[in-house]
Amino acid sequence: MNKAFAISISLLAGSSALIAEEANAPQKPEIKKIGESSYKLGKISFDSNKGEISFPAALEQNEVLIEYLLTSPKGKIHETLFITDISPYNLNVAMKLLGYKESKELLKILNKNYTPTRNYHTATEQQKNNSRFTITASWNADGKEMSHDVTHLLKNSNTQGAMPDAPWIYSGSYMNKGNYQPDLSGDIIAVFTDRSSIASYSGEGRNDDSLWLPNQSVLPPLGTAVILTFTKTHPKNQKK
């Protein structure tokens, strides 16, 4: 672990504890070092060298139209692929520790009445370079370890083709009356673009809430425990 990352751990842990108190979070985040470059934050594991974040989830839906990749039990579980009981606030802390920068480029600018306009937010190169990531789902199937990019787990309801291989973009969500919005709503990672979620899908079809179905030919049975892994990427390595 480099010195700069150690300092950021210390500073962010302190500031996160303060925010947690102000935001009425259930508990202060406690970051534990478990390896040379690996850490635990609640049920979330992250590695500063690999740029990876991993945590447990379970398959929630395999037939309905999907608007969210991931929610908590508080979220829209009737239209999410996976469900998890991790703290969304802790996930946001882990992403910030790995250098994620908020990019609002998928979100429309709101007017003074908080109504979306036709114009989208812009993003700097630094924000673009540090907001994109892939998500992999891994699970055990009869003793065999299975692993898929989550875009392979969804298909187009019209063409039956796989979801385009595009990155997920971290937008960070927002605070709502002293609380972190994903903790309130339970909606964590969106397929159908959602400003209240921590991140959203960036590929074609992201603004269509009637497009994506679970790919049952690849998915395990409902309730199967999975590990979701976020891997930070660079936009030049991604298809848009």
For 219-240, b where at least 16 C-beta lie within 10 A, e where not — what string?
bbeeebebbbbbbbbebeebee
Q: Does the pTM of the predicted model rise above 0.85?
A: yes
Q: What is the mean pLDDT of residues 184-200?
A: 97
What is the pLDDT confidence band of residue 9, given thresholds at 50, 70 and 90?
A: low
- What Å distances lie between residue 112 and 44, 106, 119, 174, CA to CA? 37, 19, 14, 17
Helix axis angle for 88-97 and 3-22, nearest 10°, is 150
Count of positions (residues) in the chain? 240
Note the pLDDT tens digit of each residue in 200-218.
999 999 999 999 999 999 9
Per-residue pLDDT, 125? 95
